Amino acid sequence: MTGPSVSTLGRKLRKGELDPVDMAEEVFAAIERHGDPAIFTETLKPRAMAEAKAARRRLRAGSPASAMDGIPVAWKDLFDIQGRVTTAGSVVLKSDPPAKKDAALVAAAKTGGIVSVGCLNMTEFAYSGIGLNPHYGTPRNPNDPKVHRSPGGSSSGSGAVVAANIVPVAIGTDTGGSIRIPAAFNGVVGYKSSTGHYPMDGVFPLSRTLDTLGPLAHSVEDCVITDAVLRGLSRPRVKPRPVKGLELLVPEGVVFDGCEAAVLNNFEAAVARLRKAGAKVRRIRMPVFQQIIDLITQRGHLLGPEALSVHWDRVTGKDAARMDARVVKRILLAEKMTAVDLVVVLEERRRMIAETEALIGDAFVAFPTTPHVAMPIAPLEADHDVFFRNNAKTLRNTMLGNFLDWCGVSIPNGTDSGGMPTAFLLSASHGRDTDVLSAALGAEHSIRGQ
């Protein structure tokens, strides 16, 4: 059961049927009722109430700042919030000075009247696709009330907080799948932008080459509205693209290897619905996917040395003992890369991006967001080898898009027999954000089977 949409909330706020102060109060009450202390690293009630009161004044005067004036949103704890320390899911940053100003995107949200209610938990330093955090706890996946399952990472709190209907939108980051994986595991929509689509000022980095931002919400429409407000647009430029004539490329091989039966079945059912609605579906070979995996295996991942550069003093000093050992281990793997390895990876990446863009053209690429549903966290916490195997598999499909600098939207497309969500990933080449959002907006009902 999902909460009301951003468009519905915005309309009711503008009509005076809802009050932004009451809505903000209800968010904090919902946080208490939900009872999962691991979703937020910090709530921002004084700021949120001040912003809600300012929204109330504008709305009562008939001068809303945007279509989201008064709507509550929460932020992954990588975004600077003026006056607080950005923890990045870690404890080693707690002694850092507070942020002097909001991150650029947080400031844009404030200009649009969005009410910032809190900072969301995440994998420490955003370096995992599963979402475990030994410092602040691991958020529960709301889809399984009995078994503590992975919320996805690294934007773990961002996926869980929307799925739990605490806020309608959360903002995350994505370097290897960190928006799309939590969206998939929690059964919500996640939009990963192209690099450069949003400003990165005031966002704690993992990989300055690969880091991107985006919203998680209940629908593609909610992501579209949020995107427009965050970019200062008076109205969205994205319009639904009809499914009829939509060209979809379904790559054979890698992205389907080892997929659970429910993931495969739900994907194929969604493809069949899209084809029935008039989409042109082509199964194609995309050898670049295996080439990327082979390159990373042989030479290392591009984000490795960038993350090592950011965290060198921490992982080689006394702070390492206070960090998640799994994160430290992953960061230190980059020590094995040579300068030649890095040059080869960069050169090969440029080649692969150019060749893939030529192959895709104006089409969209479709495959499962993750090869499996959210898994129980107990085995992952108990055995590092189990964690690393599952983390690599979880990230496999989404990280291909980051390497190729694609934009993409993950959309729920069903559940397995236990009620755990599966998801359909629709991607396009760099800079085609409006195109991929338009296609996702038009295809969402077919993908979901609604």
Residues identified as active-site: 76, 154, 178
Dump strand ranges (E) for 243-363. 247-252, 280-285
Q: Residue 176, CB half-sphere, CA atoms under 13 Å: how many?
A: 25
> Using omega within 30 degrees of 0 as the cis cutoff, is the peptide bond preceding 154 cis?
yes
Strands 72-76 and 115-120: parallel
Tell me the C-alpha distance between 179 and 173, whole Å: 6
3-class secondary-structure state, position 138: coil
Residues linked to residue 407 through DSSP beta bridges, in sequence order: 428
Tell me the C-alpha distance between 6 and 197, whole Å: 21
The residue among 413, 384, 382, 265 whose CA lies nearest residue 325 is 384
Residues 6+ apart with CB under 8 A from 241: 435, 438, 439, 441, 442, 443
Helix/strand/coil (H/E/C) assignment for every residue in 174-210: ECCCCCHHHHHHHCCEEEECCCCCCCCCCECCCCCCC
| Residue-wise DSSP of 328-391 | HHHHHGGGG--HHHHHHHHHHHHHHHHHHHHHHTT-EEEEESSSS-PPBSHHHHH-HHHHHHHH
In 35-153, which residue ranges form alpha helices assigned H by DSSP?
Answer: 45-60, 104-111
Helices 6-15, 220-230: inter-axial angle, 10-degree rounding: 60
Q: From the CA atom positions of the chain, what is the Rg in Å?
A: 21
Q: Report the Cα 340 to chain-centroid distance in Å.
A: 32
CB atoms within 10 A of CB 63: 10
